[in-house]
């Protein structure tokens, strides 16, 4: 008597291979649909491009293609309306959509997966999604850069102390200081653009790992989906996530730059500095101390930079031990990547709001601080060099003058001419002009310098380099 056929376990994309269904615990542990459902729109886009290509090369019939397009339109509408029923039993975004498609259009839905694997499907989805995310982040970067430029132009001549080692160094303008951050963000934008070029390569067609025996047209799919080309090696296409790591590295650098500015806002808004006022709507109070006004936006941005840097480390460690090709480890790439985009987007948005309409300089506080620490000492040394004294000798003479002024409790500009000249006979009455804060910043009148005229030129150049709003 012939053996009876073995009935399949609970429905699944591979149910014919197994004699028992997944346990509930395994189903929960294995499923990714709770977080990868956000890929639904790009998953549908990729599936439609794949189906149209299969029809074009004769693998799918015209009727099947029409049914798939009709079914996908219905699924997209259900997802947009919030009525689509997501199931952990179907594991991921791909199978949830495929099962619903099959329920709607029958066997045509089962034929959609011809000539592809979830391995190249997910690699394609992530690249499509990340490409769109990068484009959105670029717009947010441009908005924050524009806010820095606007505030820099208003403060092109607002004098503040420049610092090294967090000690007063030389006078600069607040506008010049702000444009330093704009320059950092401009490089960040370049890095994202460069990263996008490597993101924008099509993996679909690699199938599970070795390609497919069907006569597919990968270039057609790439064109329809807006990719710049296809990934040349099928093993590489499904297995590497270096593009996600590269993006995470670029994102971490952006967050480092935002964190540095956030740290300065925290210092500057402290009454001991008092350089800036942050609008109340960007601050919080204390549950016990009525007088408190805490710069929570800046503190949160500073804290969230660690979160993004941590995601970068997680992705690097995730990838480093994997043999070729695809491994289930790569299911763990999505949550760090998604959270990196979400966190960076939130930080860029709130910082653009704060810089654009919630931050004001306190010029009198900045100016008073710039007069501390002998910020124009280098200007006096440069003055002596122009009078013929070697720079090292000028440096020594001014250092002794600073020590003398410090002992007297006054600024260099407050010393009588005779006392200044006692340290270097080249000192004349005209020396006092270079010891003023205005004289110091005006003298740095070259590209990249802090002279107000140069700050205005630099702001105009930075604005011209921005993408259209």
Q: Which residues are catalytic?
A: 165, 286
Q: Residue 443's closest CA among 387, 363, 366, 376?
A: 376
Q: What contacts 24+ positions apart, CB below 8 Å, involve 149-155?
A: 149/179, 149/182, 149/459, 149/462, 149/463, 149/466, 150/356, 151/175, 151/178, 151/355, 151/356, 151/359, 152/176, 152/178, 152/179, 152/182, 152/455, 152/459, 153/455, 153/456, 153/459, 155/361
Q: Counting beta carbons within 10 angstroms of the beta carbon of residue 299, is it exposed (0 to 12), middle (13 to 18) or buried (19 or more)?
A: middle
Tell me: cis bond preceding 325? Omega within 30 of 0 counts: yes
What is the gyration radius of the CA atoms in the chain, in angstroms?
Answer: 31
At a CB cut-off of 8 Å and minimum separation 6, what does 312 contact? 245, 248, 249, 251, 252, 340
Q: How far apart are CA 258 and CA 348, in angstroms?
A: 8
- Find where tokens 């008073």 sit: 368
- Rounded CA-CA distance 99/110 in Å is 8
């Amino acid at each position: 008597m012939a053996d009876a056929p073995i009935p399949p376990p609970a429905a699944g994309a591979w149910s014919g291979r197994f004699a028992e269904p997944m346990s509930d615990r395994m189903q929960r542990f294995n499923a990714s649909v709770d977080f990868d459902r956000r890929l639904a729109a790009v998953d549908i886009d990729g599936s439609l491009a794949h189906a149209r290509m299969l029809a074009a090369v004769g693998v799918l019939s015209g009727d099947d293609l029409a049914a798939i397009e009709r079914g996908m339109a219905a699924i997209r509408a259900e997802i947009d309306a919030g009525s689509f029923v997501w199931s952990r039993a179907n594991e991921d975004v791909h199978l949830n959509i495929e099962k619903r498609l099959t329920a709607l259009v029958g066997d045509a839905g089962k034929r959609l997966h011809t000539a592809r694997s979830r391995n190249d499907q997910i690699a394609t989805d992530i690249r499509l999604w990340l490409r769109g995310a990068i484009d959105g982040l670029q717009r947010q970067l441009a908005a924050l850069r524009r806010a820095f430029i606007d505030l820099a132009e208003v403060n092109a001549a607002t004098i503040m102390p420049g610092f090294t080692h967090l000690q007063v160094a030389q006078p600069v303008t607040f506008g010049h200081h702000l444009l330093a951050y704009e320059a950092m963000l401009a490089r960040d934008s370049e890095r994202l653009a460069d990263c996008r070029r490597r993101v924008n390569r099509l993996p679909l067609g690699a199938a599970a790992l070795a390609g497919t025996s069907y006569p597919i047209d990968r270039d057609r799919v790439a064109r329809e989906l807006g990719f710049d080309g296809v990934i040349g090696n099928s093993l590489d296409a499904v297995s590497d996530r270096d593009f996600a790591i590269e993006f995470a590295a670029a994102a971490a650098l952006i967050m480092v730059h935002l964190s540095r500015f956030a740290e300065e806002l925290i210092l500057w808004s402290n009454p001991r500095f008092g350089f800036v006022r942050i609008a109340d709507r960007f601050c919080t109070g204390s549950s016990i101390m009525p007088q408190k006004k805490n710069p929570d936006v800046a503190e949160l941005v500073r804290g969230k930079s660690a979160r993004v840097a941590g995601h970068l480390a997680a992705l690097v460690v995730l990838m480093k031990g994997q043999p070729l090709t695809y491994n289930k480890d790569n299911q763990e790439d999505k949550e760090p990547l998604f959270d990196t985009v979400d966190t960076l987007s939130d930080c860029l948005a709130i910082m653009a709001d704060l810089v654009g309409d919630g931050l004001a300089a306190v010029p009198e506080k900045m100016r008073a601080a710039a007069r501390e620490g002998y910020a124009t000492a280098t200007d006096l040394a440069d003055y002596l060099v122009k009078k013929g004294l070697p720079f090292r000798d000028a440096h020594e003479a001014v250092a002794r003058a600073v020590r003398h002024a410090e002992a007297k409790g006054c600024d260099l500009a407050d010393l009588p001419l005779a006392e200044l000249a006692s340290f270097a006979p080249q000192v004349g009455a005209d020396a006092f002009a270079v010891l003023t804060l205005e004289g110091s910043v005006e003298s740095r009148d070259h590209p990249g310098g802090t002279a107000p005229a140069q700050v205005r030129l630099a702001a105009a150049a930075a604005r011209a380099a921005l993408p259209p709003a």
